[in-house]
A and B are shown apart, each in its own frame.
Chain A
Amino acid sequence: MIGSPDVVALTKDDDFGDSYQDPCLLPEEFSVPLFPHATNANPWTKTSYAKFSKDFILISEFSEQVGPQPLLTIPDDPKVCGTFDLNYFSLRIMSVDYQASFVGHPPGSSYPKLNFVEDSKVVLGDSKEGAFAYVHHLTLYDLEARGFVRPFCMAYISADERKIMQQFQQLSSGFSKASECLKSGNRKAFANELEKKLKDLEYTRSVLHKETEMQKINTGCYSTQVIEKANELANVEKSIYEHRDLLRQITSYPNKKGRDAHINDHDHVQIEPEKPIDSNMLDNTTLTSNHSSNGRDKSSTDTDTSPQKPSSYTPQLIKAKSAKCFDKRLKTLEELCDSAFFHQTLDQLNVIEKMFRGDLCFIYTSQIDRGLSIKQKITSFLFEEERDWEEEGGGSRNLYEANHTTRIAPPLISQISTLSGEPMSLDSYVTCVEIGHNKLEIESLEGPPESSTSDITQETSEDAVDTETKGSFSSDRSIEALGNVSPANPDGFGRRSTNEACTVTSSEEQEVTSYSGAPERDADMSTADVFEADNLVQIDTACCMGQDGFIYEEPLPEPLQPCCDDTVVKQEPLSLLHRDPPLQVDYVFGESSQTVVGTSVGLMLPELNINALSDDMVRMNVEDASDTTSYMSMSTSSDRAASPFTYGIPITVKQKKKAGHSALRFIRQYPFAQQAIYCLLSGRTLVVLGSEEGTVRKLVNALLIFVPNIGKYGETVQPWLSSSFQLTDLQRWKLIGLQRVASPAGSSMLHSLSRYSRYIGILDCDNKTLRCPPYKGTLINQMADHRTQIKRGSTYYLHVQSMLTQLTAKAFLYTFCHHVHLPITADDRGSVTSRRTNFLLQLGYTEEESKIIQFLSELVKHHFLQGPLKGLGQALFSYSYSTSYLYKI
């Protein structure tokens, strides 16, 4: 497999570690290599001696016409590669003796045979260039290519050799998935191409046949012309058989391989009739390369499908003369693979790129972190970010977003290209993204309320300082800090905005060309609706009603309406309803590819190690973007104060860190903060009552970090409620922001407040009072000391987090100590109770603190016995009878 003369392990000519002689002779594993390039400000960056600034993915092809050539890089930014010679490196990676699949006439078989070969994976190093690469070779089928195959490779190029070597498995599995996707698309496109070629050939045959007959009649049997024609006919016949056989081989691929179920989808796809998306694609080729004479054997690109008549394919006469090899234009990768699949692959590669972004030790740390937190599933749900979704199928945000894109963008893009008649390129795609991106930036900048704004600025300045010292990390960090403001990486971020932007563009185009209405209403709902509905799909019904008192039974598409008013989408999404037929088919196709992503995503995730930081960033960006979208859909109210929650969007560490800042302010402002925190920690619902939405939301935001088991999407928090609540709401929500209404409607709310006063603590932010049971102890004092020296929100968050982790550990200990809970005799309730109490006393907890531990312990038990999120309605609601006091400032 490894055929490179320059395999990494063997080439280490300038290992900087060796250049330094350690006088103390520390064991090698402890030795810290000195950084040789003193000029560079960042000692951690490994890329300083490489010619590129950060890791990237390169896709190259060994073209039969021009040899190895680079096709594209991810990220698609010339700055990334810098002065690095992509051509040279392509040559290097493609020069590996890759055993391509043999296609041709194997001995003993009269027809060409397709080999379905495994990809090969190689690690290459070029120590002079300072580049190391994981190289993934694959072949794609192309009817026009020599031997029907075209060798490609995808390479992950890094300056850090160890990163490549040690992350080999992860890289390999990631790239395999991407390659699989590419190949699936390729098989589909190949099959389509074959079908077309077959039609051409059959048409040619019938024409030739007719001509032969004519000539026979005219000139007699044995004229040279007739013989020539007969030979030609025979050749065509043979060609038809060959192509049929090829078609059979390619369509039978999944059965042969017995691969994952999702490939069967492609199988269906292949058998389906011509897809307009292909015709669009091919149309592009037609525009550029519709030569009259094409090779008889190796070319069939000359198709005559026009966008106006996409469904019917007019067969072409195939000329006997074979074209010169260099005359023809080879298909691009995108044409080879069917653009939907191609973009899907690009998305996957983008995810991979993000995943391995940053220093190796960082990737390591996050891998270890993940590995450890998987082991802590029993308690991690309490205060830590919910990570299950990363592992559990289809849930990943990144890929979920990718799904959106692949699902919606391709039809739209094809739409654009159809309408404008221009070949679609990645550029147009990117510009779309950028447009949408910028617009959304503005949106999201307008959004946050005063507190968050200050938060942002602080974070920004902190990170700006970091930026200067962080080298390769810097761009990431600044992105993180600035949210959407980052100008770079349009490909990676703001996927949702892609949809948006494309929507805009296409609908505008739509207006120009003004297609008359097509009957497929529901298919067309897709664009507008898909991300809407999709967005809502994962939302708990409980959450749906959340924002501004949406009602349970609210039909899902409903919230779409307000979307038109205050979004970047200037065109009504409904205008998309008028669309030409192709879209429907497109959409259907998108659907099928979507399912593919879903499954492949599920498979991919467990093996891949997601870089937590970059992951967060991606998510955050995605959130910010989607935040806006969901605002459009969810919020009917004019108040757009950014809440930390957007339903359906997971709460992230990032948000919690921001919340840390508000929390810090809260504990400084309110002397009774401890009591409020005690309420939350002991499982007593805290109602934040106020007449001003902004203030209430801010307080809810601040207290958010203290809510145990907040849920993936913050299900247990209701940031703003303007109607009265029921007992069941108290069961569900542990932190409620409640609007104080002066009207009679408010009285029922106040009634419920007084009625259920034994179950709740009430924080009145207008009068600055708190009514809740007393807390006497030191534990929360440490957590919420209003004279704290901590200045920064994120620091405070970490401080709180460490305290909460201690609590969690104690709760775990308490829950899983046999001798505390198991009765000695059959009826031994009393002694168990006293043992429990004593155990907690021995741990050093006061009576009130014991309640916290007990509550956490109950949550742990519940989680352990019933699993997460299951039976939220059947959640236990326990409380205690204790007198409340009123605290004032």
Chain B
Amino acid sequence: MLRWILGGRGPQGAVEKSAALCIGEEQPKNCFTELQVLKGHFDIVRFLVQIDDFRFASAGDDGMVLVWNVQTGERLVELRGHTQQITAMISYTFIKGGKAHTALLTASSDRTLSLWDPDTGNRVQTVSDLQSSVKCLLVLNSVDLWLSGGNELCVWNRDFQLQCKSVHHRDTGISAMVELPKNCIAAAMDKEIVIFKLSLSDPEMSVFATRHLADHQDTIRTLISINDSLFASGSHNGELILWDALDWTIQAYELILWEEAPGDGQSEIRMGQQKQTEMSIQHLTSDGELVVAAVGSGLYVYNAVMKMVVAYRKIAHDSDVLHTMLLDNGLVMSCSEDGSVRIWELQDLPLAAEPASSGFFGMFGTFGRSGKQAAGAPVKKLLDVPGLRSLELIGDLIGHSGAVQMFLSFGERALVTCSADHLLIVWKDGERESQLRSLALFEKLEEMQGL
């Protein structure tokens, strides 16, 4: 198409620029047919946090936190106060005066921590002059405490009083934290995972490292909790390790090397030495059973219960995948630096007799016939892996002109994406919205007693 616009008379379609995949414009399964662009930020928007059923907050490098109404797209409050980029944001729900109240906790490069009231826009609490900037935040709802992770781990109560902190370790601070049972916290620090134990019984609250898990060969990029008994970590060189949440032993170890994809040793797949970033695990997400890993520009779905690979796609995007999500209806969503959001469906592979869809190994597909998956891709002999399914692209959302940093789903109501182009986009189901508008219209008609 590009060439066509440039003035060429050649057939359109075959000139699609080296897209990993092109689904084309016909996307019957893609329900997002309405969008709303929210403007307000002046720099990259990196974080989205849901506050309640209709509100969410966005924050980014401009140090501002904006609270939006997802239904109307209205900007509700602007939380200004941080002078530098925001490095972490989390919602903090506590009981105040008998009812749950949700506030926002933010950490910024200006070495401050703030608690905001999203209803009024007030900065309720703030701590400044921290020794290091905080990179991650964790709320322990069970004990009504929250933690900040920078160069050291600090434990705070609701009133922003520092309860205790860990001993200073080294320059590489804590990049991610998850809560484990029995008041333990797993924190990722460079190549190792440190298990901290929080003792609340003593008169003085204290936190101390009980265990160092140094099984990763490279920097740990992401750390998530899968369920009560498992947590997972992913590293820069493609190691995915599942840990037992109680005794911190390795439950599964997967080294995702695309050229040696599990269950398939065919030499034809070898593409030569790959760059490290192509297998770096940027993001992990889990619904308690399935774990989705964003590996380079590909996606990898792993069943944590069965300890087996469910599906994967080496090239899911043109560029690194930054965020993934498992939707309720069994869909996987991913966003990438290429500015697109893609929606995937886990599909059972067709019978061996049929030519497999090219979707499985994207790199073999010949892409680009607009609106159609390439049909003539070589058949892969991957069907010997039992239960292996494929990730089929069912839709993509195009709108951002910069890397899509993350997204937030409001279920069937909306999907919010934030991006390096300073914009937020709310994607909605047009049919549903249309019906809602009709209802609103008849309500107003009733109020007005007719036209």
Contacts and interface: CB of A to CB of B under 8 A. Distances in A.
Interface of A: 378, 689, 726-728, 731, 750-758, 762, 764, 766-767, 769, 771, 773, 815-816, 818, 821-823, 829, 832-833, 854, 857-858, 861-862, 864-865, 873-874, 876-884, 886
B33 A881 contact: yes
B33 A880 contact: yes
B27 interface: yes
Interface in B1-48: 1-2, 4-7, 9, 12, 24-28, 30, 33-37, 39
Most buried by A among B7, B24, B437: B437
A731 B26 CA distance: 21
Nearest to A814: B438
Nearest to B372: A883
A876 B442 contact: no
Nearest to A854: B434
A769 B12 CA distance: 12
Given A818-B442, A873-B39, A883-B370, A726 B435 contact: no
A526 B256 CA distance: 72
B433 interface: yes
B440 interface: yes
Contacts of A758: 25, 398
B395 A881 contact: yes
Contact of A815 (B73, B398, B435, B441): B441
A833 B434 CA distance: 10
A877 B35 CA distance: 6
Nearest to A817: B438
Contacts of B36: 874, 876-877
B5 A762 contact: yes
B26 A883 contact: yes
B260 interface: no
B381 interface: no
Given A832-B435, A886-B4, A879 B73 contact: no
Q: Which of A862, A881, A884 has the most CB of B within 10 A?
A: A881
Nearest to A877: B35
Nearest to B26: A883
6 contacts: A689-B5, A750-B2, A816-B451, A821-B441, A873-B39, A881-B26
Q: Closest 8 A-B residue pairs measured CB to CB? A: A821-B438, A881-B27, A878-B34, A878-B430, A861-B437, A883-B371, A883-B26, A758-B25
A876 B26 contact: no
A877 B34 CA distance: 6
B72 interface: yes
A879 B34 contact: yes
B441 A865 contact: yes
Contacts of A881: 25-28, 30, 33, 395
A689 B4 CA distance: 12
Contacts of B431: 829, 833
Given A727-B35, A731-B37, A821-B439, 17 more contacts: A378-B451, A727-B37, A727-B399, A727-B423, A751-B2, A752-B401, A754-B5, A823-B435, A858-B437, A861-B437, A873-B39, A874-B74, A877-B34, A877-B35, A880-B33, A881-B27, A884-B25
A553 to B, nearest CB: 14
Contacts of B37: 727-728, 731, 877
Nearest to A769: B4
A755 B398 contact: yes
B444 A865 contact: yes
Given A726-B401, A876-B433, A883-B25, A821 B442 contact: yes
B interface, size bucket? 35 or more
B192 to A, nearest CB: 42
B165 interface: no
Contacts of B55: none
Contact of B398 (A689, A751, A756, A829): A756
Interface in B409-435: 423, 425, 430-435
A879 B30 CA distance: 12
Given A726-B401, A874-B74, A883-B371, A757 B26 contact: no
A474 to B, nearest CB: 41
Given A750-B5, A833-B431, A886-B4, A727 B401 contact: yes
A372 B8 CA distance: 52
Contact of A878 (B2, B6, B33): B33
Nearest to B401: A726
A829 B371 contact: no
Contact of A886 (B12, B73, B434): B12
A877 B32 CA distance: 11
Contacts of B442: 818, 821-822
Contact of A822 (B35, B370, B400, B439): B439
Contacts of B441: 815-816, 821, 861, 864-865
Nearest to A764: B5
Contact of A876 (B30, B34, B400, B401): B34
Contacts of A857: 434
B153 to A, nearest CB: 42
Contact of B440 (A378, A865, A880): A865
Interface in B229-246: none
A661 B177 CA distance: 68
A882 B27 CA distance: 7
Contact of A879 (B7, B33, B400): B33
Nearest to A874: B73
Contacts of B444: 864-865
A526 B144 CA distance: 64
B435 A754 contact: no
A873 B399 CA distance: 16
B229 to A, nearest CB: 36
Contacts of B34: 876-879
Contacts of B4: 769, 771, 886
A752 B1 CA distance: 12
Contacts of A886: 4, 12
Nearest to B438: A821
A689 B1 CA distance: 14
B6 A750 contact: yes
Contacts of B25: 757-758, 773, 881-884
Given A881-B28, A883-B371, A829 B430 contact: no
B9 A767 contact: yes
Contacts of A882: 25-26
Contacts of B1: 754, 757, 771
Contacts of A864: 441, 444
Contacts of B30: 881
A773 B28 CA distance: 15
Contacts of B398: 755-756, 758
A823 B30 CA distance: 23
B318 to A, nearest CB: 12
Contacts of A822: 438-439, 442
A220 to B, nearest CB: 89
Nearest to A860: B441
Interface in B368-421: 370-371, 395, 398-401
Contacts of B371: 883
Nearest to B34: A878
Nearest to A820: B438
Contacts of A829: 431-432, 435
Contacts of B434: 854, 857-858, 861, 878
B40 to A, nearest CB: 11
Given A757-B1, A864-B444, A876-B34, A821 B435 contact: yes
B417 to A, nearest CB: 12
Contacts of A815: 438, 441
Contacts of B451: 378, 816
Contacts of A880: 33, 430
Contact of A755 (B401, B432, B435): B401
Contacts of A879: 33-35, 430
